[in-house]
C-alpha cells in the first residue's frame, strides 16, 4: 500500500513534466540544424535538472538526496558543455539564441563558466544546503538568458 502511495506522486510529476515539455520537444523535432538541435537538447536537459531541484527547494516534492545528487550531476555535465555546444554559430529559425553570443563571445563564455562553477558548488546534501546554493545557479542561468536568449523567461530554454 505504501509503495503505491509513493508511486502515484511520482507518476503525476512525470506526466506533468512530459505535458509541459511536449511543446519544446515538438519544436526541437522541427529544428533542421544539428548544432542547434544539440544545443536545445542540452538546455532541455539542464532545465529538467533545475526543475527537479527547484521543486525540492520549494517543497513541491520531498527533498530526496539521491535524486538531488543525480540532478546536480546532470546539471554539472550540461553546464560543462555549454561553451562547446555554442562555440559554432549554428542557426535555425527555431533557435532562441541571439547572434550576440558570437559577437560578445568572451562575455558569453564568462557567463557559461559562472554557471558551471555555480553547478559545481551546488550543495545537495541537505534541503538547507540546496536552498542556500540553488539561487546562485538560477541567477547564473537568468543572467545569460537575459543577455543571449531571444525571449528570456523562467527556465524555458533555447
Would you state the pLDDT for residue 78? 98
**Stated pTM of the model:** 0.77
Give me the tens of pLDDT residue by residue for the chain, a chain 158 residues long: 444 444 444 444 444 444 444 445 456 678 999 999 999 999 999 999 999 999 999 999 999 999 999 999 999 999 999 999 999 999 999 899 999 999 999 999 999 999 999 999 999 999 999 999 999 999 999 999 999 999 745 454 44
Concatenate the DSSP letters of all residues of the chain into one string: -HHHHHHHHHHHHHHHHHHHHHHHHHHHHH---HHHHHHHHHHHHHHHHHHHHHHHHHTSS---HHHHHHHHHHHHHHHHTHHHHHSS----TT--B-THHHHTHHHHHHHHHHHHHHHHT---SSHHHHHHHHHHHHHHHHHHHHHHBSS--SS---
CATH number, span 2-148? 1.20.120.10
Amino acid at each position: 500500500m505504501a509503495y503505491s502511495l509513493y508511486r502515484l506522486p511520482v507518476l503525476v510529476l512525470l506526466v506533468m513534466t512530459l505535458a509541459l515539455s511536449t511543446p519544446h520537444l515538438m519544436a526541437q523535432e522541427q529544428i533542421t540544424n544539428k548544432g542547434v538541435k544539440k544545443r536545445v537538447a542540452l538546455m532541455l536537459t539542464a532545465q529538467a535538472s533545475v526543475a527537479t531541484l527547484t521543486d525540492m527547494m520549494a517543497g513541491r516534492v520531498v527533498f530526496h538526496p539521491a535524486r538531488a545528487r543525480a540532478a546536480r550531476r546532470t546539471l554539472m555535465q550540461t553546464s560543462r558543455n555549454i561553451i562547446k555546444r555554442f562555440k559554432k554559430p549554428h542557426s535555425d529559425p527555431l533557435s532562441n539564441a541571439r547572434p550576440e553570443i558570437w559577437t560578445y563571445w568572451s562575455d558569453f563564455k564568462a557567463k557559461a563558466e559562472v554557471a558551471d562553477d555555480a553547478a559545481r558548488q551546488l550543495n545537495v546534501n541537505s534541503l538547507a544546503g540546496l536552498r542556500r546554493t540553488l539561487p546562485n545557479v538560477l541567477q547564473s542561468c537568468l543572467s545569460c538568458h537575459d543577455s543571449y536568449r531571444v525571449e528570456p523567461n523562467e527556465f524555458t530554454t533555447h
